[in-house]
Amino acid sequence: MDKILEGLISSAHTLPVKKAIVKKVVEAAEKEVAAEECQALFAVTTRLVLLGEDAFQKQVGFQVLEAYARYHRSQFEAFFSKDFVLGLLQQGYEQLDHQDPAVVDYIHCGLRLLISCPAVLDLFTVVQVEVLRMVCERPGPAACARLAALLSDFVQCVPRDKGGVLFCQQLVRTIGYFHCLASQEQELGEYVTQVTKVSTLLQNIWKAEPATLLPSLQEVFAIISSTDPSFEPSIALASLVQYIPVQMITVLIKSLTTDQNVKDANMTKALCRMIDWLSWPLAQHVDTWVIALLKGLAAVQKFTILIDVTLLKIELVFNRLWYPIVRQGALAVLSHMLLSFQHSPEAFHLVIPHTVHLVQSLQADGLPTSKAFLLQFTELIHCMMYQYSGFPDLYDHILEAIKDLPKPSEEKIKLVLNQSAWTSQSNSFASGPLRQAGKSETGKTGLVNLGNTCYMNSILQTLFMATDFRRHVLSLRLNGSSTLMKKLQMLFAFLAHTQRAAYAPKNFLEVSRPPWFNAGSQQDCSEYLRFLLDRLHEEEKIIQVLESAKPSVPTDAVDSNSKDASTATSLEEREASSPKVDDNDRRTLIERTFGGKLVTGIRCTHCDCVSEKEEPFTDLSLAFCPSRDASKSDESKSDESKVCQGSVNGGSETLMPGTNDQASHAHAIPESNEPPLSVPDLVDYFLAPEILDQENAYFCGKCCSLRRAERTLKVMSAPEYLILTLLRFAYDAKCHVRRKILDNVTIPPHLRLPVHRPSMPSPPPPPASSPPPVDSSESSENLAKKLKPSRRDEEVQSVRYVLSSVVMHSGVSSESGHYYSYGCDNAAQGDATCPKEDLNQGEQVREGPSGQAGGAVPPSDWLLFNDSRVTFASFQSVQNITSRFPKDTAYVLMYRKQEVVGQDAIKGPATSGTRQSAEPPLQKELLDAIIKDNKLYLQEQELNARAQALQAPSSSCSFRPNGSDDNNPPGSCGPSGGGGGGGGGGFNTISRLVF
């Protein structure tokens, strides 16, 4: 028999002859064989199995061994003894190393042949000890795969208790040493199969012994967090992720991110290596774990790690998108990394050079999966370009490549960005002060109350919500950094793009506070608004004068001088980004946006002589009507002069047209059964004729004596934004105190303002009756002694406005209380224009020169700005605030002009050049300032979280590297303001694997 086997080993016979001989040998196993001969036969077959020169010889060895062991069990049991197996596992076989996969296969075969023998129990004990020692020696993936197959068939050989924990940990570490050096498809596939077998073994052990799972995961983290430069863990560790229960994500991430023993350098390394796992082809849930860890780090404000890892790995993650087998998981991670990295465009700009090529490749692919993926990818790109506009040189070619693909709506983009920012990740792991006060769900930024500065905060938020004004301010090219407009531009940029929940406007307060305002004391917001607009207007006027005084530089001269050329370029850029206005229009931005013209006319009832004076205005101060008592005659009603606002806490003493200095005796309107006043009522009262008589008699220049007269007010030019101030603070002459009128005033969503416009020119009258010529320079002077123009020379048009913002005052006097504001978030969208034919549909137009357009209420995209706090609100809350909280009353209202299109349409703002249809891109100077402050804010949050975490209890599981606001009234005004915070899959395409 020995000679027969030796003949099989030799190569003298052909393959058919060899197979015939093997068949005879196997058939001879059924015959009686002496013990000595069996032992010799087992030795020969063992040698053939372990040292065979080719696969055929090894196969012959296994066939003969199995045949004789089956029919001669006792002889094989004596041969395959405990000592023999121990020798194989410790010393190998002749020149064969003990870690060789053939040794493990031979022992596996022997155990299978002896499974029903009692002696196999002793063999299990030996193997159980030796496999632990073997994995500690870091065998290769082939040997580990054979070992995994052995232990999967014979679970009795798996170490138990502490030995089991240690075995799992060492097997994990062994996987960390698996490195694939193969480059051929077959070799790559074999490597992946081997790793999968080993990871499946760990999964089975974790299921049978749950206590081994956590120590195994700790070992995984210890490996991937190692900062040893001489060791780089294998991405084969990714094969373990799919076997970790997804339900453990919250517990493990909590332990990982709150463990004080985990240093930043270790966490950075671990996160980078987990991101590398996206290259592993068959692993599932890797993206889920990576994103969970990123969110966990953001929740505990470890922003430095997130910044470093994102910038280091963003291009690698992007490159994974080229490989279909790992594409979807890579996109999930890429989306989260880009959308959360909102303090700077740096990460997005790193992947821009590769974007168009990828889009073109996906479009050329034509596969349904590629098309679906492309839609997801382009949505991400649109979000990022929206977040960081202002780089047309970088984005133009991208827009061209994706122009035929659908674009998400602006509302969806804002929602995605708001939910994805690091600062929006709630910390569910901490409690109390460790929880982060992130930006509100509205996505808007509040303003920190710097000590009774709610009067400023409410006005600034109102101006910010004036969409056209905000866009023009942001688009201005301003040279000086010390101007008030530059400070306002910077403030608007921060309100639009900062990641802080609330921004502290310290610099703006210093330059915009009126000199007579005492620091730290409550002031009047209307007075502040008027001062602010006046300052901005005068500042721009001065700049215009200075620029007009500069000599113009011819084009030829500019080309011949580099300095002049740069100046010309700067001017061209400024003109390109400035609002498109008429070249002859020298009005300032304040005039174009808030400016209107009002004509005050006084007619002597004795001689009909008319004196008119035209004045500009930026706001209309509306007095409250006197008591509407039916018993009073119309004449007695008209005798009651209209009230004016006295100075509020050292406020403006300037009287609006239609008021007089002796009519400051306003008091609260008595309660009555009459309908409540509305804003149109106050506008009508403001524009109603007023009789001047007795002590208020008018001195007529023509009569040269005091005469009874009629004073009228006419709006000659309607502003783009109509500001209305309700004069609620008045002086009570009887009690000698300043009181607040608490009457509820109905606020309509739409308003019509009567505007007098010159009618079509008529043939000139005969020379004898023609009025004297009027010099244009006298247009703003008192035109006394001029005849009153005929009514046919003017026509009254009703200009439609939609409500944009409302400033509320909470309190009973001007010296105390609190200001907050409501703003409509879609003032620049659906309500910007309306057809003329829709004006009268479903409306009940009020009688009188002004009225409420009672059409549909504006959409409920209303926000409540209460210092640091910004919440969602509704138009109903704006209308009902005083009925629910009697001390909270509307004070300053801002209406936005609507453009009416259609037949006989009112020529709206489209011709005025003050409307912009989109947010302007941020200038580099503003963007750099915001990026710098956003990074500073993230560092502040991180430092605060670290300081607070030192006082928090240690985590139970250590991962050491070495082992709407409608229900509550607003709060009082103070330093704290109204809020806080400053701040599986198939394995088919091996060639497309990524390692």
Residues in CB range of 34: below 8 A, 6 or more apart: none
Crossing angle of helices 484-497 and 525-549, in 10° steps, is 120
The rounded distance, in Å, linking the Cα atoms of 606 and 709 is: 8
Cα–Cα distance list, 818 to 199, 236, 521, 888, 969 (Å) = 64, 62, 12, 9, 11
* Helix or strand run (H / E) with residue 188: helix 185-208
**Range list of H helices, 10-100:** 15-28, 35-51, 55-71, 73-79, 82-91
**Residue at token pair 């008592």:** 629
Task: Measure the CA–CA gap between 251 and 955, rounded to whole angstroms.
Answer: 10
d(CA 724, CA 894): 6
| CA separation, residue 268 to residues 241, 273, 747 (Å) | 19, 9, 56
The alpha carbon torsion through 363, 367, 372, 377 (nearest 10 deg) reads -40
Interatomic CA distance for residues 860 and 851, integer angstroms: 22
d(CA 481, CA 479): 7
Which sign, positive or negative, has the C-alpha torsion 77, 81, 82, 87? negative
Measured CA to CA, the distance from residue 990 to residue 68 in angstroms comes to 41
Three-state SS string over 285-348 comes to: CHHHHHHHHHHHHHHCCCHHHHHHHHHHHHHHHHHHHHCHHHHHHHHHHHHHHHHHCCCCCHHH
Which of 82, 148, 304, 216 has the alpha carbon at shortest distance from 938? 304
What SS3 class is residue 613?
Answer: strand
Helices within 815-896 (DSSP H only): 875-884
From residue 906, how far is each of 429, 468, 798, 799, 839 by CA, in Å?
Answer: 58, 19, 8, 7, 11
Side chain identity at residue 619, one-letter code: D
CA distances from 716 to 623, 758, 853 (A): 20, 9, 21
The string of DSSP codes covering 743-760 is --EE--SEEEEEEEEE--
| Cα–Cα nearest to 679, from 630, 751, 780, 734 | 751
pLDDT confidence of residue 584? 58
Query: How is residue 150 annotated by DSSP?
Result: H
CA dist 542 and 401 (Å) reads 47
Q: Are 108 and 148 in contact (CB under 8 A)?
A: no
Q: Closest by alpha carbon to 536, among 576, 484, 472?
A: 484
Contacts of 836 (CB under 8 A, 6+ apart): 900, 901, 902, 903, 904, 905, 906
Q: Which residues contact 508 (CB under 8 A, 6 or more apart)?
A: 456, 460, 487, 488, 490, 491
d(CA 203, CA 209): 10
pLDDT of residue 55: 80
| Res 627: pLDDT | 55
User: Checking phi first, is residue 794 left (phi over 0); if not, alpha (psi -120 to 50) or beta?
Assistant: beta
> Distance between CA atoms of 100 and 104, rounded to whole angstroms?
7
pLDDT for residue 942: 79
Q: How far apart are CA 466 and CA 462, in angstroms?
A: 7
Residue carrying structure tokens 């082809």: 281
Q: b/e string for 441-478 if b means 16 or more Cβ within 10 A? A: ebbbbbbbbbebbbbbbbbbbbbbbbbbbbbbbbbbeb
Work out the number of other CB atoms within 10 angstroms of the CB of residue 918. 9
For residue 520, count CB atoms less than 10 angstroms from its CB and return exposed for 0-12, middle for 13-18, buried for 19 or more.
exposed
Beta pairing partners, 893: 724, 806
Q: At what angle do helices 924-949 and 484-497 cross, to 10 degrees?
A: 50
pLDDT value, residue 655: 33
Neighbours of 768 (CB within 10 A): 5
Cβ(658)–Cβ(743) under 8 Å? no
Residue 271's contacts (CB-CB under 8 Å, 6 or more residues apart) are 290, 293, 294, 297, 305, 309
For 184, phi and psi rounded to 5 degrees? Answer: -85, 150
Burial 940-972, CB ≥16 within 10 A → b, else e:
ebbeebeebbeebeebeeebebeeebeeeebbe
Q: Coil, strand, or helix at residue 237?
A: helix
Residue 499 forms beta bridges with which residues?
none
How many other CB atoms are found less than 10 A from the CB of residue 672? 11
* 3-class DSSP state of 937: helix
Q: Are strands 705-707 and 709-717 parallel, antiparallel or unpaired?
A: unpaired
SS3 726: strand
Residue 851 DSSP label: B
Structural domain boundaries in the chain: 241-424
Residue 192, C-beta contacts closer than 8 angstroms, at least 6 positions apart = 281, 282, 987, 990, 993
Active site residue ranges? 454, 818
Q: What is the mean pLDDT of each run of 10 residues along the chain (995 residues)?
A: 54 61 70 80 84 80 84 87 91 87 92 88 92 92 94 93 94 92 82 93 94 92 91 92 86 83 89 91 87 89 89 94 91 94 87 93 89 93 84 82 90 86 61 50 87 92 93 86 88 90 91 89 91 93 80 49 41 42 72 93 89 91 68 38 33 34 36 74 91 88 87 92 91 75 91 83 48 38 37 76 93 82 68 40 38 47 89 89 86 88 43 62 87 86 73 56 46 43 39 44
Q: How many whole angstroms separate alpha carbon 487 and alpha carbon 509?
A: 10
What the block records as the tokens of 474 is 């942001």
